[in-house]
Structure 1
Amino acid sequence: MSLLSRKNVHLILKNKTARQKICALQLSEKSSDKDYQYLQFSKIPTLHFQKSLPRLPIPKLSATCDRYLAAQRPLLIDESFRKTEFNVKRFCASTGQQLQKYLQEYDRANKHTSYISEMWFDMYLRDRQPLPLNYNPILVLHNDPNKDMNDQLVKTTNLVISSLRFYKSLEANILEPEVFHLYPKKSDTARFRNICSKLPEAFSWYGAYMFNAYPLDMSQYSSLFKSTRIPETDKDRLVSQANSSHITVQHKGHFYVVNVLSDTNSILPADVILARLQAILNDNVTEAEYPIGPLTTLNRDKWATIRHELIDAGNESKIKLIDTALFHVCLDNEEVLGDPVRTTRQFLHADATNRWFDKSFSLIVTKDGYSGVNFEHAWGDGVAVLRYMQEIYKDTKEKPQVNKDTKIVHENNTELIRLELNLSDNLKNEIHKAMTNYKNLCSSLDVNYLIFDGIGKNVCKRESVSPDAVMQLSFQVAYHKLTGKFVPSYESCSTAAFKHGRTETIRPCTVATKDMALALNSKLSKASPQELKQMLAKCSQYHSQLTKEAAMGQGFDRHLFALKHFAAKNKLDCNIFHDPEYTMMNHNILSTSTLNSPAVMAGGFGPVVKDGLGVGYMILDDACGAIVTNYLATANGKGFIEALKSSLEDILKVLNHKR
């Protein structure tokens, strides 16, 4: 095991200007090598639709105001609502008109992007809160049905190689474009690909539209690899490396640099990568006494100051190796044994000694072979990460490159570098304090889960109701059952159907869900089973309308966010934004998100406010489930899970009632 040398740093960081040309040459190589180097060979280039994607629309001001008031109605008493309604109507007729013009002018001047993109990046990068628990979400993959393939070394090697195959396909513009097929049998065909591939990029989206297929924005994909978030005072930076040939691996809190691409940009042989990862696992070192990973759990201003000190201590080239890695891998010594709570904690926060939360994503593999990612959120959303996860899961199952019988290549380990960092007494003290404070924070977090059989896609389809609407209704019923309250609730919805779209908010607490919750939870309710079924259908219909509006860029949250930005920029006073009810609406007690996929076992995130609940949920064919996080001192996650189980039982009775 060699340590870092000036020569090694130069070899790893040197600019390989010929790589793109080499990449093109590799596509003409013999079939067997191409099949190893690339995950896909799409007939339609990866970014073929990007130029012609429609732009995110700016909603009409009056529509946004109406939608905002509709979302406030179930949360406010009559007096508060009348005051809010007065402020909103005055805003819509006066200052709002001027702010709308500012926003429209900005949008016309920035036709290469969406009106929300720059502001949304800015919002993430200016927030000074630590990344873990506050921002970084997780996705955990299902284990391989073949237990031998879940060996930590075998699993990691296959995931690394599949990740590299995904990366190289993306770089070569031959990764299949992300397209939502409304009627897959008609559009997800060779004919569709043949026709669209021949259309000019400027018109390609319209060709897909004629098939009822909708290409999605893929601008975030380039930030999956070779990217990181750099802490700076006041506002962080997102940086991407032009070329990179290595990954970084953490084990026992130590950092290792592993070359995985050759000088000709080829993925190294599978047995070589296997050997290098085995060398890390076999490295005879103790747990790092002063691991630097916990520094990424700090307040961003604090971390920025310490990072500069870390670099000035003679570690600049070493930190740069972490920043410029293709991606980051965490080889954990802990076992989670498939327990949902242990798994969530290990991937969501762990003790940070074997983590680097600033990287675009970290691929984590536990000692017992469970795998997933923890990803930084500023650069992108779950859509790109989910696609990556689905592809590598499928690839490792269908085309694993190594197994337990693969012979290890014995090579001298001059290509493997363990980073030895220079740490002053002050840096050691800061690391110790960061570890202690982070341990206390994680101890204050509670994690609970529920798997509920009976409600899934099948029963919802049978009753012609939206599965997502049923889940969101169950959260409202449960929270009311637990607290007697209705609170601001958030559901994330992607706007990737538009160029540089990010997300929009669905507001699941509606007048319809409030009425249904009161009918189910009140002992005085006289609603008949048939009336409850009609109320459920109304909840589903309205929720589906809100979902469609959000996906089409017609929610109200991002629009008001942008208008507030221009109000501050132009020093315009607006009662609507000073209204305590507006602040209350954006204090999301129930923050929810789902990313359903056959590849994903679980997903989760921390609560977005101290007194809130973070609800990651999934809907399967005949079951549903949720992982709920909360801070013990300020919210009752365990009670919510118990109330959720009771609420789902009540809703199941309604679904099963025969007319």
Structure 2
Amino acid sequence: MVTGALLFSSFSHFRRAWLPPVLTGPRRSYSQDDALSQYLHRSLVPTMHYQKSLPRLPIPKLEDTIRRYLIAQKPLLDEDQFRKTEQLAGNFGNGIGRELHDQLVAKDKQNKHTSYISGPWFDMYLQAREPVVLNFNPFMAFSPDPKPEYNNQLVKATNMTVSALRFLKTLRAGILEPEVFHLNPSKSDTPLFKKCIRFVPSSLSWFGAYMMNAYPLDMSQYFRLFNSTRLPKPKKDELFTDEHERHLLVLRNGNFYVFDVIDRNGDIVKPSEIQAHLKFILSDNTPAPAFPLAYLTTENRDTWATLRQELLDNGNREALRKVDSAIFCLCLDDFPIKDLNHLSHTMLHGDGINRWYDKSFNLILAKDGSAAIHFEHSWGDGVAVLRFQNEVFKDSTEFPAITPQSQPTACDSVRAVEKLNFKLNDALKEGITKAKQKFDATVKTLTLETFRFKRGGKEFIKTQKLSPDAVVQLVFQMAFLRQYDQTVATYESCSTAAFKHGRTETIRPASVYTKVCSEALARRLGKHSPMELRQMLTECSKYHSQLTKEAALGQGFDRHLYGLRCEAESQGISLPDFYKDQAYAWINHNILSTSTLSSSAVFMGGFGPVVPDGFGIAYGIHDNWIGCNVSAYPSRNALEFLQCVHKSLDDIFDILQGKEISN
């Protein structure tokens, strides 16, 4: 087996959890009646060809984990606090931590079909009792179709639905291009290489790709994209998938509709027929229900589990089964998007009536054609969802199933489209009313603010031999210090999809380097020359790049420490003192939670703060501009934070461009 060290030596560019896959699948060319119109493309290499031979996620050495943990604690603690934490960490590493580590390694060796973090990570999500909306589910908004007339709600909903179904069929037929990170595309992303690698046994295929500097990525999450729902259960939810069902779930004005989009032969229903059914739904004047059922998916999970059982017992089993097993949920909103903040609020949480937050994903289309994916997070990470979004955007814009001039098929939508009716007793009505009250009260407290910095982006930063991501993460440190005079726990998500059943690892952007640099710029501590300030930027960039590489290779500390804690719980061992340390609680109270995405298919994204006194920071670093979408509750001021971000970016760009820093 190729070791992490060998990977580290050559895998010099890394994928963050929100970064897009490289879309290299062979593109098709056909008439609309061609049988190939059922698929996105036909890959020479089977979709799961590399899965069997993917390297396993390594468990870091315990001493490395403790060393990295203490380094990350350094900028967050004073000297006395750090000494205490250092002592507790030393005792843990030499005592119970060593025992737990050995047990974790032994268990990992017995479960070579998966990763050591996969089970605990699923449990972490599914055991969480907080509502999924705002606490876990993010959104990613689509870029508008470059042809304005195709942004009509009905046209776009039809085209995106058909493209999503093409993705489904391509995936299930095993002809979706495998997810591969190409370091040298001219050698590995070629027809010749693909013709050769497909004959290499799947048990060895990863090594063949590796020899060409290509890195296949884990695709084990993909099957949960479709026909999947998170089901509320007492204490721990369940993931449900039924790949045999052929219907789409459509929500409009809080009403539920289902109709088949795959026929009995397994083919996609004619696009003009899908268009006709969606037009029928859009023309339905039925008002919103007095007690909109969707509010229940905004509830505490135990509360929702109790109410769901009440629903089942009250004669709604078949209707719920159709909701849970639907291919996905298409949400048609009856209003246009006013501005970027309205877009964020609409796609992140909406009004609670027209979403089913437990579905693997909701495809949302506003009246003006603004579109987004809102997804439930327990089943998978941003890599799988963004691959889907990229493919749907590309297919629906380059190979649209219908045109603005297309006419719906004359068909009997009254019979084909079923409106689901739910029987509600007094207990359910009361549950929905309470859910609505709590949801509305929470949403009122949430602020979302967007920002664009137009002086430059990754192109200019790279000319300065700096990491664009490192610069932007430093900016967040500077901004928070400028606003609140503190350096706080910061989280940046990093994908470990280079390994079998990898999930994510944490990059810890707050470092001694960012703290010194932030204090020099935000607090104006010391009289530093332009050369000294530039050297500080270089040190921050180098260290952040190191952290990113380590995280992508499973060499962070967060997942390892979490795995050891779960191991103690599974063994019935009382919580070690190391985990009772206040400093451990602080570093896991991520006031700055950050995630980046960059794709031509994505207009913007967003998510809620992960703690009540935190910021949720979705950002994109584009060629010539930088964008942020920040969420906060009343204890934090998102608009003021973005003003500090703007000032911090100006300071850094002034330094890089040899200008005087303005006060």
The bucket for the TM-score relative to the shorter chain is over 0.9
Mapped to 1, the partners of 2:597 and 2:221 lie a distance apart of: 17
CA offsets 1:271-303 (integer angstroms, 9 cap, x no match): 001001101001131122221001100000000
1:378-397 alignment runs, 5 A limit:
378-397=378-397
Contact 1:137 1:605 in 2 (8 A): yes
Mapped to 1, the partners of 2:105 and 2:483 lie a distance apart of: 44
Q: Which is worse superposed, 108-117 or 455-464?
A: 455-464
Counterpart residue number, 1:278: 279
Mapped to 2, the partners of 1:573 and 1:432 lie a distance apart of: 40
Counterpart residue number, 1:588: 590
CA offsets 1:563-597 (integer angstroms, 9 cap, x no match): 01112222144221111100111000000001211
Contact 1:482 1:639 in 2 (8 A): yes
Mapped to 1, the partners of 2:458 and 2:524 lie a distance apart of: 30
Counterpart residue number, 1:93: 94
Secondary structure at 1:200 match in 2: coil
Secondary structure at 2:55 match in 1: coil
Mapped to 2, the partners of 1:496 and 1:115 lie a distance apart of: 14
Contact 1:459 1:655 in 2 (8 A): no
Contact 2:565 2:575 in 1 (8 A): no
Q: Is the counterpart of residue 491 in structure 1 residue 492 in structure 2?
A: yes
Secondary structure at 2:198 match in 1: helix
CA offsets 1:21-70 (integer angstroms, 9 cap, x no match): xxxxxx9x999533211111000000000000000000000000000000
Contact 1:157 1:270 in 2 (8 A): yes
Secondary structure at 1:546 match in 2: helix
TM-superposed deviation, 1:425: 2.3
1:198-217 alignment runs, 5 A limit:
198-217=199-218
Secondary structure at 1:73 match in 2: helix
Secondary structure at 1:114 match in 2: coil
1:184-199 alignment runs, 5 A limit:
184-199=185-200
Counterpart residue number, 2:606: 604
Counterpart residue number, 2:364: 364
1:252-651 alignment runs, 5 A limit:
252-337=253-338, 339-413=339-413, 414-570=415-571, 571-632=573-634, 634-651=635-652
Counterpart residue number, 1:221: 222
Counterpart residue number, 2:71: 70
Counterpart of 1:234 in structure 2: which amino acid? K
Mapped to 1, the partners of 2:390 and 2:292 lie a distance apart of: 32
TM-superposed deviation, 1:122: 0.4
Mapped to 2, the partners of 1:186 and 1:458 lie a distance apart of: 25
Mapped to 2, the partners of 1:306 and 1:78 lie a distance apart of: 50
Counterpart of 2:48 in structure 1: which amino acid? L
Counterpart residue number, 2:6: none
Secondary structure at 2:116 match in 1: coil
Counterpart residue number, 2:41: 40
Counterpart of 1:535 in structure 2: which amino acid? M
Mapped to 2, the partners of 1:43 and 1:31 lie a distance apart of: 23
Mapped to 2, the partners of 1:458 and 1:31 lie a distance apart of: 40
Mapped to 1, the partners of 2:441 and 2:98 lie a distance apart of: 48
Structure 1, unpaired ranges of 5+: 1-26
Contact 1:351 1:435 in 2 (8 A): no
Mapped to 2, the partners of 1:432 and 1:577 lie a distance apart of: 40
Q: Which is worse superposed, 40-49 or 570-579?
A: 570-579
Counterpart of 1:189 in structure 2: which amino acid? T
1:23-62 alignment runs, 5 A limit:
32-62=33-63
Mapped to 1, the partners of 2:197 and 2:531 lie a distance apart of: 49
Mapped to 2, the partners of 1:207 and 1:31 lie a distance apart of: 37
Mapped to 2, the partners of 1:357 and 1:34 lie a distance apart of: 34
Mapped to 1, the partners of 2:620 and 2:567 lie a distance apart of: 37
CA offsets 1:79-130 (integer angstroms, 9 cap, x no match): 1001111111111111111011110111011100000000000010000000
TM-superposed deviation, 1:461: 1.1
Secondary structure at 2:75 match in 1: coil
Mapped to 1, the partners of 2:31 and 2:631 lie a distance apart of: 50
Mapped to 2, the partners of 1:528 and 1:295 lie a distance apart of: 58
Mapped to 1, the partners of 2:658 and 2:466 lie a distance apart of: 14
CA offsets 1:279-329 (integer angstroms, 9 cap, x no match): 100113112222100110000000000011111111100010000001111
Counterpart of 1:601 in structure 2: which amino acid? F
TM-superposed deviation, 1:523: 3.4
TM-superposed deviation, 1:424: 1.2
Q: Give the fraction of aligned pairs with identical amino acids, expressed as a percent.
A: 48
Counterpart of 1:625 in structure 2: which amino acid? G
Counterpart of 2:342 in structure 1: which amino acid? R
Mapped to 2, the partners of 1:196 and 1:653 lie a distance apart of: 49
Contact 2:519 2:525 in 1 (8 A): no
Mapped to 2, the partners of 1:176 and 1:544 lie a distance apart of: 29
Query: CA, structure 1 residues 164+573, in 2 after alignment: closer, same or farther (shift >3 Å)?
Result: closer
Q: Which is worse superposed, 634-643 or 59-68?
A: 634-643
Contact 2:226 2:243 in 1 (8 A): no
Counterpart of 2:554 in structure 1: which amino acid? G
Secondary structure at 1:201 match in 2: coil
C-alpha RMSD over aligned residues: 1.5
Mapped to 1, the partners of 2:640 and 2:523 lie a distance apart of: 18
Secondary structure at 1:563 match in 2: helix
TM-superposed deviation, 1:411: 1.1
Query: CA, structure 1 residues 287+31, in 2 after alignment: closer, same or farther (shift >3 Å)?
Result: closer
Counterpart of 1:122 in structure 2: which amino acid? D
Query: CA, structure 1 residues 30+144, in 2 after alignment: closer, same or farther (shift >3 Å)?
Result: closer
CA offsets 1:424-467 (integer angstroms, 9 cap, x no match): 12212221221122111000001111100123111111001100
Mapped to 2, the partners of 1:384 and 1:351 lie a distance apart of: 27
Mapped to 2, the partners of 1:372 and 1:344 lie a distance apart of: 10
Mapped to 2, the partners of 1:147 and 1:324 lie a distance apart of: 34
Counterpart of 1:631 in structure 2: which amino acid? Y
TM-superposed deviation, 1:522: 2.2
Mapped to 2, the partners of 1:525 and 1:261 lie a distance apart of: 67
Counterpart of 1:614 in structure 2: which amino acid? G
Secondary structure at 1:330 match in 2: strand
TM-superposed deviation, 1:146: 1.3
Counterpart residue number, 1:17: none
Structure 2, unpaired ranges of 5+: 1-27
Mapped to 1, the partners of 2:529 and 2:299 lie a distance apart of: 54
Secondary structure at 1:447 match in 2: strand
Query: CA, structure 1 residues 30+626, in 2 after alignment: closer, same or farther (shift >3 Å)?
Result: closer
TM-superposed deviation, 1:638: 1.5
Contact 1:447 1:630 in 2 (8 A): yes
Counterpart of 1:606 in structure 2: which amino acid? G
Mapped to 1, the partners of 2:322 and 2:34 lie a distance apart of: 28
Contact 2:329 2:361 in 1 (8 A): yes
Q: Is the counterpart of residue 170 in structure 1 residue 171 in structure 2?
A: yes
TM-superposed deviation, 1:343: 0.4
Q: Paired residues, what number?
A: 630
Mapped to 2, the partners of 1:105 and 1:160 lie a distance apart of: 46
Mapped to 2, the partners of 1:161 and 1:445 lie a distance apart of: 35
Counterpart of 1:39 in structure 2: which amino acid? L
